Structure 1
């Protein structure tokens, strides 16, 4: 039977995002993991309201969906669970980078094989702001004119840490900018040819420039594509409430958090699944 025949599924917007109704025991049992994964790839974002998973349950659910990410260059939190917060007391290693999450991005553009998917559940929320937005990079590519698709298909983009963070912190110190510049650059195709046969745009604020293109033309093209991909009809806006579980397909979406009161101590707990295919094509 299909997922929709077994569970209640409600689309949250026409092009991206679905909400499913399922209890914790059924979810953690893993019997629907394959169907949920298929829905995730098709719809980009899945929301489960009022499920209230604790940290151990969040890890357990992630493992039903794929290979739990324990760490690459740096340790991925506590046994695969990372605290997403700007409070350096809660996360001294990563908090100083999370301001960049307020700009459109996909995770792991510094890797050959970016993470497949991420799960988030809130622990502390701000009274104002803090909604998280997601955009469908599959749909944004599919809606482009055929001539432009053919042109974009041959382009390679350089992704850097300074490109990702400087737009969100223009008053950074020279030392901060030097630290960001010390991270390696990574080249990715602008169009991801997925093993499924589908294609998506590989867009992120980390996109510095297009290889071999005049810098001003490169800037203008990347800005135009970002504006195209983030039009309202490609976007799902999630208003958080306690007890939520939200997951997204990092390989076919971008996301960003809207500004919030940093004194609120806003904190979400995250589990991430390791990537399963390189952007550059099947290895």
Structure 2
């Protein structure tokens, strides 16, 4: 599930430090980005959703552990944070990447390499294993994606990594930064994370 982009082209603000607002605890990670959020997202009201949205803007990535959500809960949570984006079409490698009731929950995609009765229960399988930015080939890339992991291997694999591009830009040598200032790059969907 992805959110459409809201214009935020500046570095994140100073993150909350052990904030506990509206019964939501936000703990910045000891990393270049990210915070752990402690709450039950199923019980969020709009004020709580606003706290989580601000935590995302401030920290760029959020880790919310221990949730038990169905597709309806996931859609409700995502829509409280912003406008939901259209699902990935099958021609982009997402064949089967839908819920059991895609008409009721069209914005929820199942990404899985699990095979039941000779058929994968989701789409994309391990095709997402390569480094990518979700929907970076869109003219206006999505602001966020929500990954709700149900089953992750105990051994190698299953890791999701995030990168702080603000920090990457700030770490560039000044000469290189001046050289690329004002330049843009255009990605397209001829080669996306699904191949």
The aligned runs of 1:37-116 (5 Å cut-off) are: 37-71=53-87, 73=89, 77=98, 78=102, 79-87=106-114, 89-91=120-122, 94-95=123-124, 98-99=126-127, 101-116=128-143
TM-aligned CA deviation for residue 160 of structure 1: 4.4
Pairwise CA RMSD of aligned residues? Answer: 2.8
TM-aligned CA deviation for residue 19 of structure 1: 0.4
The aligned runs of 1:153-232 (5 Å cut-off) are: 153-161=181-189, 163-164=191-192
- Show the counterpart of 1:15: 32
- Show the counterpart of 2:168: 140
Looking at structure 2, the residues matched to 95 and 113 of structure 1 have their Cα atoms a distance apart, in angstroms, of 23
Count of residues in correspondence between the two structures: 161
**TM-score under structure 2 length normalisation:** 0.69
Displaced runs of 4+ in structure 1, greater than 4 A? Answer: 72-76, 160-165
CA contact (8 A) 1:30 1:61 kept: no
1:70-116 CA distance string (max 9 Å, x none): 3365598332100011346223xx426x51x2222111122111111
Q: Which runs of 5+ in 1 are unaligned?
A: 169-179, 181-283
1:137-161 CA distance string (max 9 Å, x none): 1111122233322222233334345
More strand by share: 1
The aligned runs of 1:227-242 (5 Å cut-off) are: none
Looking at structure 1, the residues matched to 31 and 143 of structure 2 have their Cα atoms a distance apart, in angstroms, of 23
TM-aligned CA deviation for residue 163 of structure 1: 5.0
More helix by share: 1
Looking at structure 1, the residues matched to 169 and 51 of structure 2 have their Cα atoms a distance apart, in angstroms, of 25
TM-aligned CA deviation for residue 118 of structure 1: 1.1
From the superposition, tell whether residues 144 and 20 of structure 1 become closer, same or farther in structure 2 (CA, over 3 Å): same
